[in-house]
C-alpha cells in the first residue's frame, strides 16, 4: 500500500504497534538534542539512572537559553553540561554557537532519521525529511538510554502547497496561514506533512520556519520530503554525502487533507497574545511600535537576516524603534559579517545581540510598558517577553523590518522599493569543528556541580485514596509559560527544583505557591481546553508535582505536557462532559478512590466532590504503559526497575 512520508518514517523505526491512528506505538530514536534550559535535568536524570554511555547514534547538548549570566548560576550550568557530555558521550555546543535547532540542522540532521528533542521546537527538523519530535527531558533521557519512544500513532494531515509566494511574502506567512486555519490546538495528535508543487521554491530553511511552528498548532511532528532543496542545504554544510532522498510513495493518501495556494497569500500577523490570532498585516497597519525583533528558531535562516539588511540599507530607522537583531547561529553571524549584510544593519542603527534564543524566551529585550513589539519568534503567550502586559505580534522578517523603518505596523508591500534579491550561497562556514565531540575513548569524568545544581527530588506513589482541595481552577489554553514561566529571573533555576517551584502558576495566581506550601499535601488543578500548550519544559510538571499537585483535570491537554505529568506521577484526566467544568469550584475538596485500579479497569475514574457528594465522570487516554508509569510513581521509578536492572 502506498504510504505517505510520515508513515514511512514511523514504519522504518517501529519497535512495536501498528500504523492505525490512535494505537500505541514505540519507535526507535536515532538522535536526541537538548538545550541548557531542559538539559541540566536530562543530565541529572542520566546520572540518577546510572547510565554509562549514550545508546543513540548521536546525542547533542546545546547552550542557547541561559546566556545572560547575571550571577553564577548560568555559568555553573554550562560547566555542568559540558562535564556531563564528556561523561556520557554527547556532543557539546558551547554558548555562542547558536540555537539548538538551526545548529543541529547544519551539523547533524540526516534525512530518514528520528530525532527526539527536549525542546518543543524540535519538530523543525521535519524540514529535512526527518521524524523529529519534541518531548519532556525525562523522555529524552530515556531515549539516550536506549528506551524506545512511546506515543499513539498520530493522524497525518497532508497539506498540499501550490503556486509560488509573491514578493514580500515568505515562509512565515505560510505557517501563520496554517495557524489561522488550525488554531493552537487544531493539530494535536497529528503529523502535518507538506507536499506538492509549491515546495519547489521553498529552501530547506524556509521549510524549517514552517516545520518549527508546527508546534504552535499542537502537532506531534512536521514532515517535509528530502529533495533537491535538502540536498543543496547539505552541500552548503559540506556534508552532501549525508543526503538521502525521502518522499511519500506515489499515490499516498492522508487521514486529512488541506491545500494552500502560495500565490494567494499576503503578509500575515498574529496579534497579542496567541499565535493563532492571525489577521492580515493591513488590518492592523498604522499602530505605533516600540520594537522590531528579528531572530529565533522560527526564522533562523540567512535570508531572514539578509533580506532585512537589504531592505534597510541606506535608509533611516524610525527614531523611536528598537530594531533588535538576534543571530540564530554563529554560522549565520559569520556569513552576515562576510557578506556585508551585518554592516547594513549596524549602519542603520540596529542592535546586535548575542547569538542564541534571547528575547524569544524572555531572556532580555523585554518591551516597554504598553508598547507594541513585532517579532519573528514562534510564540506570543502573555508575558513571555518579560513584560507582564506585553503586546507582542508575530510576523515575517519583511513585515518586522518595514515596520521598523516606518515606526508603525507596515505591510512590507507598502514600502516604496523593489523586493530585495537574495540567493543562498553555495557553501556556508563549516561550524561543526567548533562543537566539542564525544571523547573516543570514554574516561572517568567528574560532574561539575555548582551550588545551585540540586538532585531531583524523590516522588512517592499515588495514595490509595487521593483526596485534596482543588487548589487552582484555570481557563482554556493555559500554556507551560503560565504553569511555570521562563524569563531571566526563573530560567537560571532550572537545575534546582525546590527553588524554581516558587514560581509555579505565578502568572495565573501569585499566591499559588504560598497556598500549596500552607496545604503541604495532595491537591488538584483544573484547566479548560488545550491545557499545557507551548514549551516542552518538564519543569512545569515537576514543579506542579513538587508542590503536591497529584491530578490535573482538563477538557483537553497538550501532548508534551500531558506526558511530562505522567512522567512525574501526576494524573492527567479529562472531563467526559465539558459541562462538568462548571460544577467544580476552586477550594472544593475532591477525592478519587483507588485511581490506578479504576484506570486499569476501564481507563476512567469517578471524581467525588466531597462537599456536595456529587460525582463527575473523568476519562483518560492513558496507554497501559502510561498507567504503569503512574503506578510506579513516575518514569524514573519505573525505568530504574524495568531497564536499569538489565544494565547492571
Question: Which residues here bind a copy of itself, judged by CB under 8 A?
Answer: 68-72, 74-76, 78-79, 82, 94-97, 290-291, 319-320, 322, 330, 333-334, 337-338, 340, 342-343, 346-347, 349-355, 359, 362-369, 371, 386-388, 429, 434, 436, 450-451, 487-489
Closest to 202 measured CA to CA, from 126, 148, 253: 126
Evaluate the omega torsion of the peptide bond into residue 198 and state whether it is cis, within 30 degrees of 0: no
| Inter-residue contact 47 to 453 (CB < 8 Å) | no
Q: Which is nearer to a copy of itself, 137 or 359 (CB)?
A: 359
What is the rounded CA–CA span in Å between residue 121 and residue 559?
A: 13
What is the nearest approach in angstroms of a copy of itself to the Cβ of residue 314? 12
What is the nearest approach in angstroms of a copy of itself to the Cβ of residue 433? 9
**C-alpha pair distances (Å), 431 with each of 217, 221, 236, 392, 464:** 32, 26, 11, 32, 54
What is the nearest approach in angstroms of a copy of itself to the Cβ of residue 397? 18
Closest to 371 measured CA to CA, from 272, 278, 269, 481: 272
Q: Which is nearer to a copy of itself, 206 or 324 (CB)?
A: 324
Q: Which is nearer to a copy of itself, 94 or 238 (CB)?
A: 94
**Residue 485 phi, psi (nearest 5):** -65, 160
Residues 202, 204, 206, CA angle at the centre, nearest 5°? 55
What is the nearest approach in angstroms of a copy of itself to the Cβ of residue 346? 5
Residues 382, 544, 628, CA angle at the centre, nearest 5°? 125
Question: Residue 211 in 3-state DSSP?
Answer: helix
Counting Cβ atoms within 10 Å, is residue 68 exposed (0-12), middle (13-18) or buried (19+)? Answer: middle
What is the nearest approach in angstroms of a copy of itself to the Cβ of residue 327? 8
Q: Which is nearer to a copy of itself, 300 or 367 (CB)?
A: 367
What is the nearest approach in angstroms of a copy of itself to the Cβ of residue 45? 22
What is the nearest approach in angstroms of a copy of itself to the Cβ of residue 476? 26
What is the rounded CA–CA span in Å between residue 115 and residue 15?
A: 15
H/E element, 371: none
Q: Which residues contact 46 (CB under 8 A, 6 or more apart)?
A: 84, 88, 141, 144, 145
Q: Which is nearer to a copy of itself, 128 or 361 (CB)?
A: 361
What is the nearest approach in angstroms of a copy of itself to the Cβ of residue 79? 5
What is the nearest approach in angstroms of a copy of itself to the Cβ of residue 94? 6
Q: Which is nearer to a copy of itself, 251 or 314 (CB)?
A: 314
CA gyration radius for the chain?
A: 24
Quickly tell me which residue has 509566494 as its cell: 165
Q: Which is nearer to a copy of itself, 37 or 117 (CB)?
A: 37
What is the nearest approach in angstroms of a copy of itself to the Cβ of residue 322? 6
Q: Which is nearer to a copy of itself, 388 or 417 (CB)?
A: 388
**Residue 643 per-residue DSSP state:** I
Q: Which is nearer to a copy of itself, 16 or 70 (CB)?
A: 70
Q: Which is nearer to a copy of itself, 335 or 626 (CB)?
A: 335
What is the nearest approach in angstroms of a copy of itself to the Cβ of residue 329? 10
**Half-sphere exposure in the Cβ direction for 106 (13 Å, CA):** 28
What is the nearest approach in angstroms of a copy of itself to the Cβ of residue 39? 16
Q: Which is nearer to a copy of itself, 266 or 347 (CB)?
A: 347
Q: Which three cell numbers stand for residue 385?
A: 517577553
Residue environment code for 253-272, b if the CB has 16+ CB neighbours within 10 A, otherwise e: ebeeeeebebeebebbbbbb
Cβ-based neighbour number of residue 498 at 10 Å: 11
What is the rounded CA–CA span in Å between residue 486 and residue 480?
A: 9
What is the rounded CA–CA span in Å between residue 543 and residue 513?
A: 10
Question: Residue 160 in 3-state DSSP?
Answer: strand
Q: Which is nearer to a copy of itself, 88 or 568 (CB)?
A: 88
Amino acid at each position: 500500500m502506498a504510504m505517505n512520508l510520515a508513515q514511512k518514517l514511523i514504519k522504518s523505526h517501529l519497535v512495536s504497534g501498528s500504523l492505525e491512528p490512535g494505537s500505541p506505538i514505540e519507535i526507535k530514536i536515532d538522535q536526541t538534542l537538548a538545550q541548557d534550559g531542559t538539559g541540566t535535568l536530562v543530565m541529572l536524570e542520566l546520572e540518577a539512572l546510572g547510565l554509562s554511555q549514550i545508546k543513540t547514534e548521536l546525542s547533542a547538548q546545546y547552550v542557547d537559553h541561559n546566556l545572560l549570566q547575571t550571577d553564577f548560576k548560568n555559568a555553573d550550568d554550562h560547566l555542568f553540561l559540558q562535564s556531563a557530555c564528556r561523561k556520557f558521550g554527547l556532543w557539546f555546543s558551547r554558548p555562542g554557537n547558536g540555537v539548538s535547532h538551526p545548529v543541529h540542522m547544519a551539523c547533524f540532521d540526516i534525512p530518514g532519521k528520528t530525532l527526539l528533542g527536549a525542546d518543543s521546537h524540535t519538530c523543525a527538523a521535519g524540514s529535512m525529511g526527518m521524524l523529529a519530535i519534541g518531548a519532556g527531558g525525562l523522555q529524552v533521557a530515556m531515549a539516550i538510554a536506549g528506551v524506545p519512544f512511546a506515543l499513539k500513532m498520530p493522524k497525518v494531515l497532508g497539506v498540499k502547497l501550490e503556486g509560488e509566494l509573491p514578493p514580500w511574502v515568505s515562509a512565515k506567512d505560510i505557517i501563520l496561514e496554517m495557524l489561522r486555519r488550525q488554531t493552537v490546538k487544531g493539530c494535536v495528535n497529528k503529523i502535518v506533512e507538506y507536499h506538492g508543487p509549491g515546495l519547489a521554491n521553498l529552501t530547506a530553511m524556509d521549510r524549517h520556519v514552517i516545520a518549527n511552528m508546527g508546534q504552535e498548532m499542537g502537532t506531534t511532528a512536521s514532515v517535509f520530503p528530502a529533495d533537491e532543496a535538502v540536498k543543496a542545504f547539505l552541500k552548503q554544510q559540506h556534508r552532501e554525502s549525508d543526503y538521502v532522498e525521502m518522499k511519500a510513495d506515489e499515490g499516498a493518501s492522508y487521514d486529512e487533507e488541506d491545500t494552500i495556494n502560495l500565490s494567494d497569500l499576503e503578509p500575515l500577523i498574529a496579534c497579542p497574545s496567541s499565535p493563532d490570532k492571525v489577521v492580515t498585516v493591513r488590518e492592523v497597519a498604522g499602530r505605533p511600535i516600540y520594537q522590531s525583533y528579528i531572530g529565533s528558531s522560527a526564522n533562523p535562516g540567512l535570508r531572514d537576516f539578509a533580506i532585512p539588511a537589504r531592505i534597510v540599507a541606506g535608509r533611516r530607522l524610525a527614531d523611536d524603534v528598537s530594531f533588535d537583531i538576534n543571530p540564530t547561529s554563529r554560522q549565520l553571524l559569520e556569513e552576515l559579517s562576510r557578506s556585508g549584510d551585518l554592516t547594513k544593519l549596524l549602519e542603520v542603527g540596529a542592535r546586535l545581540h548575542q547569538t542564541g534564543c534571547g528575547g524569544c524566551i524572555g531572556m532580555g529585550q523585554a518591551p516597554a510598558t504598553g508598547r507594541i513589539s513585532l517579532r519573528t519568534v514562534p510564540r506570543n503567550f502573555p508575558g513571555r517577553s518579560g513584560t507582564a502586559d506585553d503586546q507582542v505580534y508575530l510576523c515575517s522578517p519583511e513585515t518586522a523590518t518595514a515596520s521598523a523603518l516606518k515606526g508603525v505596523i507596515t505591510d512590507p508591500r507598502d514600502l516604496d522599493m523593489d523586493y530585495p534579491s537574495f540567493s543562498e550561497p553555495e557553501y556556508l562556514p563549516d561550524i561543526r569543528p567548533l562543537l566539542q565531540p564525544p571523547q573516543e575513548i570514554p574516561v572517568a569524568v567528574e560532574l561539575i556541580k555548582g551550588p545551585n545544581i540540586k538532585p531531583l527530588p524523590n516522588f512517592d506513589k499515588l495514595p490509595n485514596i487521593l483526596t485534596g482541595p482543588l487548589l487552582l481552577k484555570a481557563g482554556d489554553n493555559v500554556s507551560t509559560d503560565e504553569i511555570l514561566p521562563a524569563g531571566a529571573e526563573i530560567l537560571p533555576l532550572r537545575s534546582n527544583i525546590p527553588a524554581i517551584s516558587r514560581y509555579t502558576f505565578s502568572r495565573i495566581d501569585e499566591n499559588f505557591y504560598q497556598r500549596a506550601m500552607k496545604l503541604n499535601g495532595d491537591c488538584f488543578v483544573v484547566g479548560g481546553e488545550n491545557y499545557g500548550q507551548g514549551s516542552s519544559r518538564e519543569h512545569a510538571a515537576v514543579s506542579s508535582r513538587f508542590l503536591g499537585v497529584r491530578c490535573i483535570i482538563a477538557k483537553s491537554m497538550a501532548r508534551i505536557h500531558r506526558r511530562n505529568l505522567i512522567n512525574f506521577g501526576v494524573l492527567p484526566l479529562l472531563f467526559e462532559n465539558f459541562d462538568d467544568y462548571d460544577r467544580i469550584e476552586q477550594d472544593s475538596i475532591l477525592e478519587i478512590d483507588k485511581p490506578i485500579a479504576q484506570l486499569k479497569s476501564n481507563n476512567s475514574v469517578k471524581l467525588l466532590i466531597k462537599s456536595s457528594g456529587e460525582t463527575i465522570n473523568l476519562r483518560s487516554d492513558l496507554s497501559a504503559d502510561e498507567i504503569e508509569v503512574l503506578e510506579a510513581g513516575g518514569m524514573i521509578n519505573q525505568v530504574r526497575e524495568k531497564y536499569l536492572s538489565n544494565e547492571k
